[in-house]
Structure 1
Amino acid sequence: MAAADDLAFHEFEEAANLLAETPDAATTSQSDKLTSQEHVAVVVGSGIGYGAEGEEEDDKTSLLQDEKPQPRFWTFDYYQSFFDVDTSQVLDRIKGSLLPHPGHNFVRHHLRNRPDLYGPFWICATLAFVLAVTGNLTLVLAQRRDPSIHYSPQFHKGKQSGWAQLLDARVQGHAVTAHIASLVTIAGITIYCYAWLVPLALWGFLRWRQGTRERMGLYTFLETVCVYGYSLFVFIPTVVLWLIPVQWLQWLFGALALALSAAGLVFTLWPVVREDTRLVAAALLSIVVLLHALLALGCKLYFFQPLPLDHVVPAPQAIPPSPNVLLPSSVQPMTTF
C-alpha cells in the first residue's frame, strides 16, 4: 500500500525552472489539447457544411438566371397568366366592386398588380345572357297580361312548311321572333364593346395626359379593363329584378345599380386624375359616369320595353251574295213553262 506522501502533489524542479525563465508562458493540459482538436474538427466539419450550402445557393442562382423569358404578347402563354386566379380572389374582387366607399381604391386593395381577365370575361358573358333571357321573359309576361300581344318562340313551329310557313309566321308575328333571336347577339356585342373599347379610350387619354403632367400616375390597360369588367357585376342581379312588372321599382333598382357601379369607377380613377387640372379631372369623371348611365339606360329601354307588335289580321271570310245581285246569264236558273 502506498504511503500518504506518495499520494501528495510534488513540485517538479524542471517545470519550476521553466516558469521562472518564461513567466509569460501559458500552461496547457491534455484536456485543453483535446478540446482544441475537437474545436478544429467542428470548425472543419462546419466549413464543409457551409461549402455545400454555398453550392446550393449557387445552383439556385443559376436556375433563376436560366429562367424562361416572358412570352410574347401575341402568344397564348402570355394571356394564360391573366386567367390564373382562384375562386377566393374573384369573389373578393366582386365584393370590392359591390361595396365602394371614399378612399377605397379597387386596383390597390384588390388587384394588387395582378389584374385578371377571367372575372371580366365571364361577368360580361353572364350579363349578356341574362339580358337576353330576361328580355324574352318580359314578352311572355306581357302576353299573359295582355292577350292581344302575340309571342312567338325563337323557332316557330307550325303545320305548314317551307315558304308557306314563313309567310304564315310573318302574319302571326314573325317580327317578334326575329327580334328575340337577335337579343343575345345584340347584348353580347354591346357589353363586350363597352367593356373593352371604353377602357381602351380611357387608358389612351390618361397616357396622353401623363406626358403633359409628370406627377400623374397611370393604370395599365389590363387593370383598366379589369376595373370596368368587375364594375358591371352589379347589373346582373339588377337585370333579374327588372322582371318585376312595376316601372317605378325597375327604375329604382337601375338607379341604385348605376350609383354603386359608377361610384366604384370614380373612387378608383380619382387617385390618377386628381394630379391633373380640375377642369380635366371633372370632365373626365363626368364622361365616365355619363357613358355608364347610357349603358344602363340603353339596356333598360331596349330589352325591357314593350315592342310595337303587329296584331294578327283575321283572314277574310266569304260573304254570301245578296239576293238582289243578278247572277250572270250563263248561270241563271232555267224557267219552266
Structure 2
Amino acid sequence: MGDHGWKGPPSPDRHYDVQSTYFPPEVPAAHDNTNPFASDNPFMNSSSGPDVNEFSPDPHQTVAPVPTASASSAPSTLAFNESQLPTHHVHGKVGDGVPRAQPYPNSLPTASGPPLPVHGGGDPVSNLEQNAKYAFWNLRRYRRYFNVDTEDVIIRMKDSVVGFIKPDFLEKINDNEDLYGPFWIVMTLIFVSAVVGNYSSYENYKRQHTSITGQAAGTWYYDVDKVLYSAILFFGYVWILGAILFALLKFIFKSEVSLPQVWCTYGYAMTVFIPASFFCFFPNVISRWVLTAFATATSGVFLLLNFRGPIFDSAGAKALPIWLAMGACHLGLGLILRLYFFKYQAVKLEL
C-alpha cells in the first residue's frame, strides 16, 4: 500500500479514494447547503444523521411535485346499483291445493343479444308429452310420478287421515299424482303388520305357557311367512284391486280417471293403518278391535267419498253396486288384519 494509504488502482479518467466522496463527471458537486427535502428529512435535526458530503441534485433540473393526501379531502364513496336482471320467486307445493311453482321459461333474457335457452324448461304439458315419448319399459317415462318431496307426502298423508270427510283428494292430485308415497306407505305396512303379528303371537305364547317358576316353557317360533302374506295382502289390495277399478271405469264406463290417480288414492288411504298397527302392540282384545275398526272406517270413507264422483258420473245405474263392492273389499281388508295379523294365536311347543 506504501505511503499512499489504501487506494484503488490508478485510472486515466477516474480516481477512487475511500477518504473522499466520488462524484461522476456528469453530476457536478454542489457546494451550497440548499436541501429541497429539508422538511421531509428525518435526520435534519438529529445529531446522528449525515451532515457532510450530502447529495444535492442539479439546480437546473425540475423536480416534479409529489401529490400528498390532504386532511380536508373527502373520502371516496363506492356506489352500487340494483341489478336489472329478472328474478323468479319459487312458491307453492305439490298436492296442497296451492299452485305449484311456476314452470321455468324456455329462455332467459340477457342485457344484450339474443336470450339464452334453458335446458329442461317449458310448461307442464310439454313436459308430459316429453315423458310420454319414452317406451313403457323406460324408467324416464315414470319419473313425473316421483316428483314430490317430504312435505308433499306428509300433506297428502294428513289429508287422507284428517281431511277424509272432504272428498277433494282427486282434485288436489290432478296432473300431480305420485307413486312415491303410496309405495313406501305399503312397504311400511308390510313390515309393521308382520312385526305386530309376530309380537301378538309371542305375547300369546307367554300368557298361555308360563310355568310355575315364572319362566316360559317350550320354544317360540317367529313366523316369517307373515311378511310374505302381508306383502300379498297390501300390494294386491292397492295395486291389483286399484287396476281392476281403473279398468272398469276407463274401458267400460269411459271415465276420465287415470290409473296413477287410482293407485295414488288407494296408497294414501292406507296411511291410517300405520299408527293403528303400532298401537295394536298392546295385548288387549277390545283395544285391537277398536283400533282396527277405526282405521278401516276412516280409510274406507276416504276411498268411497273420493271415488263417488267418478263412479256415479260414469257408471250410471251400475254405479251403486260398484261403490258398495269397494266398501265390501275394504271391510274384508280390515277383518284380515284383525283376525290374522293382530290376533293371539296358539303356538306349538317343544317340551
Gaps of 5+ in 1: 1-49, 150-171, 212-216, 314-337
* Alpha carbons 1:148, 1:311 under 8 Å: kept: no
> What is the deviation of 1:210?
2.8
Q: How does 1:110-259 map to 2 (within 5 A)?
A: 111-147=173-209, 177=221, 180-211=223-254, 217-259=255-297
Deviation at 1:69, TM superposition (A): 3.6
> CA, structure 1 residues 256+77, in 2 after alignment: closer, same or farther (shift >3 Å)?
same
- Structure 1 residues 263-282: aligned runs within 5 Å: 263-276=301-314, 279-282=317-320
1:180 is paired with a residue whose SS is coil
Q: Secondary structure at the match of 1:275?
A: helix
Q: Equivalents in 2 of 1:113, 1:64: separation in Å? A: 16
**Which residue is 2:141 aligned to?**
78
Match of 1:88 among 124, 127, 151: 151
Larger radius of gyration: 2
Q: Aligned to 1:289, what secondary structure does the other structure show?
A: helix
How far 1:274 moved relative to its partner? 2.2
Structure 2 matches for 1:291-330, cutoff 5 A? 291-312=329-350
Query: Match of 1:194, as an amino acid?
Result: Y
Which residue type is aligned with residue 147 of structure 1?
H
Secondary structure in structure 1 of the residue aligned to 2:299:
helix
Provide, for residues 291-337 of structure 1, a one-character-per-residue CA deviation record: whole Å limited to 9, x for no partner: 11111111211112233433445xxxxxxxxxxxxxxxxxxxxxxxx
Q: Does the Cα contact within 8 Å between 2:205 and 2:347 map onto a contact in 1?
A: no
Range moving further from structure 2, 117-126 or 67-76: 67-76
- Flag the 1:103–1:235 CA change in 2: closer, same or farther, 3 A: closer
Structure 1 residues 209 and 143, CA, compared in 2 at 3 Å: closer, same or farther?
same
1:277, 1:202 → 2: CA distance? 12
Identify the match of residue 105 of structure 1 among 168, 171, 187: 168
Summarize the Cα distance change of 1:219–1:54 in structure 2 as closer, same or farther, 3 Å threshold.
Answer: farther
How many equivalent residue pairs? 232
- Tell me how far apart the structure 2 counterparts of residues 120 and 98 of structure 1 sit (CA, whole Å): 14
Task: Tell me if the contact between 2:177 and 2:261 (Cα under 8 Å) persists in the aligned partners.
Answer: yes
Cα distance in 1 between the residues matched to 2:197 and 2:348: 18
Aligned amino acid, residue 281 of structure 2: L
Instruction: Tell me the CA shift for residue 79 of structure 1.
Output: 2.1
Match of 1:114, SS state, is coil
Instruction: Return the offset for 1:95.
Output: 0.7
SS at match of 1:104: coil
Deviation at 1:148, TM superposition (A): 5.2
Q: Deviations over 1:276-296 (max 9, x none)?
A: 466422111111111111111
2:343 is paired with a residue whose SS is: coil
Contact between 2:201 and 2:346, CA under 8 Å: does it hold in 1?
no
TM-score when normalising by structure 2: 0.59
Which AA in structure 2 matches 1:124? V
Tell me the secondary structure at the aligned position of residue 73 of structure 1.
coil
Is contact 1:203-1:224 (8 Å) kept? yes
Task: Provide the C-alpha distance between the structure 2 equivalents of 1:225 and 1:189, rounded to a whole number of angstroms.
Answer: 16
Cross-structure match for 1:5: none
Counterpart amino acid of 2:188?
Answer: T
- Using CA pairs under 8 Å that are at least 6 residues apart, name the structure with larger relative contact order, 1 or 2: 1
Whether contact under 8 Å (1:100, 1:260) holds in the other structure is no
**Deviation of 1:115 (Å):** 1.1
1:56 and 2:115 matched: yes
Q: 1:25-64 residue pairs with structure 2 within 5 A?
A: 55-56=114-115
What secondary structure sits across from 1:96 in the alignment?
Answer: helix
Letter in 2 for 1:261: S
Q: What is the CA distance between 1:74 and its match in structure 2?
A: 1.0
TM superposition score normalised by structure 1: 0.61
Cα distance in 2 between the residues matched to 1:60 and 1:300? 55
Task: Assess, with a 3 A threshold, how the Cα gap between structure 1 residues 286 and 54 changes in structure 2: closer, same or farther.
Answer: farther
Query: After the TM superposition, which of the residue ranges 286-295 and 100-109 deviates more from structure 2?
Result: 100-109
C-alpha displacement of 1:185: 1.4
User: Separation in 1 of the partners of 2:230 and 2:149?
Assistant: 27
2:24 aligns with none
For residue 244 of structure 1, report the CA deviation from its aligned partner: 2.0
